[in-house]
Amino acid sequence: MGLAAKSDHGADRRMHVPVMAVEVVELLSAPRPHVIVDATVGTGGHSEALLSRTIEANLLGLDRDANALAVAAERLKQFGGRVRLVQADFAEIGDAMRDAGFEHADAILADLGMSSYALDDPARGFSFRHEGPLDMRMDQRGGLRAYDIVNEETEQEIARILHEYGEERASRRIARRIVEARRRRPIETTTELRALVERALGPRRRGGMHPATRTFQALRIAVNREMESLGAFLDRAPAMLAPGGRLAVIAYHSLEDRPVKEKFRELGRGGEFKLVTPKALKPSSREVAENPRARSARLRCVERRGA
């Protein structure tokens, strides 16, 4: 996926600049991979960089977002039959690889960030900066929307979601404001929800962050069951590595990075894997200056020891 910046160059502004692409390519080209799995391919930025460097590799790209996959297909068509794209949750990595005929991979990547391609689309309802429906589904085939949580869940459950997935200290205050408002009429748009949060917390930014940021993050995570998917991916992906293969994950906040760090340390203690990055790698100051959305990125990598 990737909290990627839009490129100002090229005809297709849907293409995005992948976060920490140089570091990802260096880490995942080291095993001289023949099979690469980009488990969150998004619009294909990391995949393009990897395939350009590893000219003999084949790539399987997974993503829940059909619109992003269409862009990735256009971006990666230059690599012909070396690429196969599948609409799937990265938690399904094992099944997806077996269906594609791959028993193991030499390199697996998961970028846990939210693609600006979807974030900037008002119709998807991910951002409080644009007027849009309260949707937030990565996979449009899914049933649960942010609208359903906001208008149907109990005040206690809404508060739990905001606290657990958004680390929002004022979760109860926001949940109470939401329930009071929906008694008058349903809350239907992103701007309506943003206004409710601003009234609950005040319009000022806290440490440069808009007061609605954590609420929108929490709802998106809940709608897409992101933490459940991440847990399943971390359990399944290491077993899909070939000996000498590497797994890399880019996380953007502590809620994501914590389970990645803990899982990788657990793998390293077991003896079958070794930590390639004892400490998380961070984007360079130059990259952050060019793409502020990358500032919170943390890249970790683990390697399955050779036979």
Return the pLDDT at 14: 53
Q: Are 196 and 186 in contact (CB under 8 A)?
A: no
Return the pLDDT at 7: 38
pTM metric for this prediction: 0.92
Return the pLDDT at 306: 81
- CATH number 3.40.50.150 given to 5-117+227-304: yes
Q: Where are the domains of the chain?
A: 5-117+227-304, 123-224
Hey, how many other C-beta atoms are within 10 angstroms of the C-beta on 247?
30
Cα-Cα-Cα-Cα dihedral sign, residues 301, 45, 41, 259: positive
Write 184-188 long-range contacts (CB < 8 A, 24+). Answer: 186/147, 186/151, 187/134, 187/147, 187/150, 187/151, 188/133, 188/134, 188/147
Return the pLDDT at 15: 57
pLDDT of 13-67, one tens digit each?
Answer: 455 689 999 999 999 999 999 999 999 999 999 999 999 999 999 999 999 999 9
Residue 161 structure tokens: 């979601």
Hey, how many other C-beta atoms are within 10 angstroms of the C-beta on 157?
13
Residue 270 structure tokens: 């077991």
Return the pLDDT at 13: 46
Return the pLDDT at 307: 62
User: Regarding the domain with residue range 123-224, which homologous superfamily does it belong to in the CATH classification?
Assistant: Putative methyltransferase TM0872, insert domain (1.10.150.170)
Residues of the chain with pLDDT under 70: 1-16, 204-207, 307
